[in-house]
Amino acid sequence: MSPTTSALDEAIGFTCDLIRIDTSNYGPGKDGPGERVAAEYVAGKLDEVGIHADFFESQPRRTTLVASWEGVDTTLPPLLIHGHLDVVPAMKDDWSIDPFAGAIENGYVWGRGAIDMKNFDAILLAVVRQRIREGRPPRRNIRLVFTADEESGGPLGSVWMARNHPDAISDCTQAVGEVGGFSITANDKRIYLIQTAEKGIAWLDLIAEGTAGHGSMRNSDNPVSTLARAVADLSMYRWPVSIHPAQQAFLDTVSEALEVEITADNVEETLTRLGSIARMVGATMGNTLNPTMLDAGYKVNVIPGTATAGLDGRFLPGQRDEFLATVKSIIGDKVRMVAHEQPSAEAPWGTDLTDAMGQAVLEADPGALITPYILSAGTDAKGWGELGIASYGFVPLKLPADLDFVGMFHGVDERVPIESLEFAVGVYDRFLDLA
Ligand SMILES: [Zn+2]
């Protein structure tokens, strides 16, 4: 068995094992199994190769694991490499295969977390173990971090760590985790997307207060009407197109691959030629705001005193103030707004670290295109950002052109191709020489 084969076997086995450890995150205030059992599993695998791990628990069983692995050049600041241990819940009845069985079928590992992101936890573990067995330290010191609670935005994981145990990570200046490094296929050319930015989050509560009373009477101060109008006005608003530099670089790369000039008129149609990724990158053409919750009243013949709505807002880096000001101007004075925010993130492109990512990929897939891109959603980068750490998404997966990769995240029948795991093991190993 060649060394590479053994790391691949371990990556497959660890992915299956971690999927079998249910770490469903049901959200704030809701009981779940927590991440401790998964963290103990990871710690055990690191301990076997002589790496000690520390546990940090924000709440019982909500475990984040931190370990240090010494590199060749110990004068360089450590690189933070992270994966989250929690997953979103899965409804067994919706799936073709038990989402927590960790089954292998048709060349795929199936199960919740197979893509998001127990696959990477496993790849990282397997590569670290192989390199230690072979006496091949990484170029620089590595801080290995396996987090809790990413799927709820990290208040019990990365954000909690940054605020309560900054000393465990604050000597790192750069971080690498999800969501990037995967390939899309355009015009038979593979493009690898490396995440250099992510949108900020503004989850908005809208509260309309009015005059309560009998449903049969005239009432010009009905909070249900006031709120409904505000929500409708926000839904009708067309957020202007705004192109972040990472988005522009991505569009330029797509333009090269498809051999078409992308203009304001054809950009939407061009993106649809990329398949399911269009849903993700289309959402980064500007700010977005979607109403997701409405609540008012308790009986049909009673006008309530209050009506509330919940909206999911996402703003581009640098546009937070403008975004919130626009919402306020649309809803007017009669509706109050409370924003629950997480900042956007952005990191520079064209650095030694991003060059290392590109080189590691190109050595394994010559002729591919590499591009930065901006993620529409959020990751643990938001936690590290509180400590000034620049974050990238790089989980190198060479994917079949017909796989609905975006649909795998939080989706039914989540699965990862074994040949993609093989690619990732090789590229990540090389990346650790270059990073
Ligand atoms: Zn994830």
- If one counts the domains in the chain, the total is 2
User: How far apart are the CA of 167 and the centre of ligand 1, in A?
Assistant: 24
Do 130 and 267 share a structural domain? Answer: no
User: How far apart are the CA of 100 and the centre of ligand 1, in A?
Assistant: 17
Do 119 and 59 share a structural domain? Answer: yes
User: How far apart are the CA of 88 and the centre of ligand 1, in A?
Assistant: 9
In a domain, 245, yes or no: yes
Query: Average of pLDDT values for 92-116?
Result: 97
Range of the domain at 64: 3-185+346-434
pLDDT in tens, 342-379: 999 999 999 999 999 999 999 999 999 999 999 999 99
Do 350 and 250 share a structural domain? Answer: no
Tokens for 7, please give them.
């790391």
User: How far apart are the CA of 116 and the centre of ligand 1, in A?
Assistant: 4
pLDDT in tens, 251-278: 999 999 999 999 888 988 898 888 888 8
Q: Assess whether pLDDT exceeds 70 at residue 2.
A: no
User: How far apart are the CA of 293 and the centre of ligand 1, in A?
Assistant: 24
In a domain, 192, yes or no: no
Burial of 207 (0-12, 13-18, 19+ CB in 10 A): middle
Q: What's the pTM? A: 0.92
pLDDT in tens, 166-187: 999 999 999 999 999 999 999 8
Residue found by looking up tokens 């605020």 in the block = 163
Tell me what pLDDT residue 5 has: 59
Question: Residue 41 maps to which CATH number?
Answer: 3.40.630.10
Of 315, 342, 369, the domain-final residue: 342
